[in-house]
Every structure is written in C-alpha cells, then in structure tokens.
C-alpha cells in the first residue's frame, strides 16, 4: 500500500516534483501535497491514481516496508 513516505521516496527516485506526479496521476497538486504531508485521510481513488502513475513510471513497491522501493528502467517502444 502506498504511504506518504513511500510516495515521497518514489517521487524522489523519479526526480519528479509534486506537480509532475499530480499531472501524471490526473490529480490536483494539492491532493499530492495533502497526501504526502498526511493531512487527513486519503480516499482510495487518490491512492490508486498515485500508485498507478508511479508504477507506470517504473516504480515497484517490493514489500510492506517504506524502504522497499525499486525503480526499473522504462523501455520506450517506437
């Protein structure tokens, strides 16, 4: 499950700003800020959108611990 710590770490590995993650996830940047700063409960749709965007960019959440985040090389077809 995506946590605020994992989200920040994955975003850091990708070298994405919060605005970039929001754009990739189809969310308002304020929702990313609120999620990462643990400002209230996040709805499942927000978590799913963030997770989907990070995974599409090559992030793999390897286990249940916040420190188990991997990034794989994306191969572009074309």
Which residue segment(s) compose the domain that 26 sits in? Answer: 4-71
Q: Quote the CA–CA distance of 58 and 35 in Å, as a whole number.
A: 21
How large a percentage of the chain has pLDDT more than 90? 59
78 lies in some domain: no
Sequence-distant (6+) residues with CB within 8 A of 64 are 1
CATH number, residue 42: 1.10.260.40
Confidence of residue 78 (pLDDT cuts 50, 70, 90): very low
The CB-based long-range contact list for 12-15 (8 Å cut-off, 24+ gap) reads 13/59, 13/69, 13/71, 14/54, 14/57, 14/58, 14/59, 14/71
77 lies in some domain: no
Its pTM stands at 0.83
Question: Residue 69 pLDDT more than 80?
Answer: no
Residue 49 and residue 25 in contact, taking contact as beta carbons nearer than 8 Å: yes
56 lies in some domain: yes
């Amino acid at each position: 499950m995506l946590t605020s710590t994992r989200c920040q770490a994955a975003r850091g590995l990708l070298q994405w700003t919060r605005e970039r993650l929001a754009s990739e996830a189809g969310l308002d940047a304020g929702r990313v800020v609120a999620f990462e700063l643990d400002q209230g409960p996040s709805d499942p749709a927000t978590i799913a959108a963030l997770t989907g965007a990070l995974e599409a960019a090559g992030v793999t959440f390897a286990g249940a611990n916040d420190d188990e985040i991997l990034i794989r090389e994306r191969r572009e077809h074309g």
